[in-house]
Chains A and B, each alone.
Chain A
């Protein structure tokens, strides 16, 4: 998604004369075209993320459009107070971009993971998070972030779908698959993993798959079609590469409750830190947390009171929450 991001920024920069792009010493072998296009308005501020965010706020205060980029944890965790005070408290629409959401940095270890990013940021009123599921989502998200006069955080990952042509174009809420065996709401590239695994299955034998792309603490409304589908589903699973606290499940269930939608039995597949105390690829950490298509499918069936599917092997037994 880094290359899609660079292309999308180039398009935005072409129509935005006052666009400043700040990076915290990241982007080698990816952002050079943007650097060349922006000239002096592309700044590597060095390894200093706290001042990077404050600088971005200052640039915005002065009328410029500012984007700040780093590896995800160094973009939201290190400079949290700068985001809270300098950006959000001042109501300045600064755009933050974190590369490597969830466990994407895999064997680099816990310091490089971003498994509580949007939960933390959504405690700040007025800030909207954008979590692309596919490469093609990045360009419309960059355009939307730029068009909305509010702070935004873009969580980049790696698209899991090799040919995205069969997927619907970006919208906040998309139904990727119809299905009768429960309903799954997912955010981020895991959507592609689930789509790859389930799209060829019979409709009767697979869950419906919905993906959410951007949201904020201030959004209250859910699409009527989603509410109806959830109310009618035998079970609901929320899937995210993010810890439970502050996650998508809590955000969604709160809004379902407010809307008076009766929720079916729930399975929450989410990041659980480092259960074994060991490290590995993104796939390793997902496996440790039950963030795999088969595990989720079986948990959903169990939550719905259905017998385990033919797929279920020993690895696919999981606990519903």
Chain B
């Protein structure tokens, strides 16, 4: 059993010092957590002058829903889109499984918090990822071994949409479907953008959901920024593919749906504007208006 999956040794930095109304619905609480997580994610990337922010923001809500609401000690998670390591580190921080001091080492000399997850140091990072098209096949192997050895626990995996251009993804999907794995849930961060163009322009896989459904594993379409919807879809027992409809750069107006934010670091002015958009006031206003994120 993963020790870090048990109750965290210290309190979550998101509830420490903040008054969180315990009567809030789960969705509202996660919205609050997500706003603060976004701010912390931007700060971490700004302080270290690091890019890959767009794809981090598109999957952050789903990672928070999964890690806060679903994952049990016997479950595992593989971040197949390894370039969103930042979102994973922030999620672990939001659970109290990484400290502020850890986040300060992001991309620094001698770090374990590299730009893509490196192996061997955190139970929620079972394997190194970063080369696209590896994490999902490895997750499939983990699920297969569990199923055949009668082990408890489900395996969750987060992939990107561009990643489905890799043949290894489809080879593993054939395997997972053929073996009728009962315990594998794969999420697809369908943000429509990749490294050098939109997925539609580069090598369209539309309609990806339909193509995936042809393999016989249930496919669920979910708003990837709606925590309740993602949580509900993840709760569903058995194997499934969750197509998360997302926005690259979600939550920061000038980043949304813009390819350059796959690469660019934030300058001071942009950082200030992004924080403005995610300020406590903006959070309160959005929550009062019943808005997402």
Contact = CB atoms under 8 A, between A and B. Distances in A.
Interface of A: 23, 25-29, 44-48, 50-51, 73-74, 78, 107-112, 276-281, 284
Given A25-B196, A108-B116, A48 B111 contact: no
Given A47-B162, A47-B163, A280-B111, A25 B116 contact: no
Interface string B117-142: 11011000000111111000000000
B263 A29 contact: yes
12 contacts: A25-B194, A25-B197, A47-B133, A47-B162, A48-B203, A107-B107, A108-B130, A109-B82, A110-B130, A279-B111, A279-B118, A280-B110
Contact of B109 (A27, A46, A78, A280): A280
Contact of A46 (B121, B202, B259): B202
A278 B108 CA distance: 10
Interface string B79-121: 0001000000000000000000000000111111011111011
Contacts of B115: 107-109, 112
Nearest to A109: B114
Interface residues of B, number: 36
Contact of A278 (B110, B129, B203): B110
A45 B197 CA distance: 11
| Secondary structure class of chain A's binding surface, majority of residues | loop
A247 to B, nearest CB: 22
Given A47-B166, A47-B195, A107-B107, 5 more contacts: A46-B199, A48-B203, A73-B131, A277-B112, A277-B120
Q: Residue among B114, B162, B197 with the most chain A CB within 10 A?
A: B114
Contacts of B132: 47
Contacts, number: 97
Interface string B184-205: 0000000000111101001100
A29 B260 contact: yes
Contacts of A25: 162, 165, 194-197, 202
Nearest to A73: B131
Contacts of B163: 47
Interface in B240-277: 259-260, 262-263
A276 B110 contact: yes
B118 A109 contact: yes
Nearest to A287: B109
Contacts of A44: 196-197, 202-203
Q: Lowest 8 A-B CB distances belong to which pairs?
A: A111-B130, A46-B203, A46-B165, A109-B114, A280-B109, A25-B195, A108-B115, A109-B116
A111 B196 contact: no
Contacts of A23: 196
Nearest to B107: A107
A14 B90 CA distance: 48
Contact of A284 (B109, B112, B203): B109
B3 interface: no
A47 B112 contact: no
Contact of B114 (A26, A48, A108): A108
A51 B162 contact: no
Given A25-B195, A107-B107, A276-B110, A50 B167 contact: yes
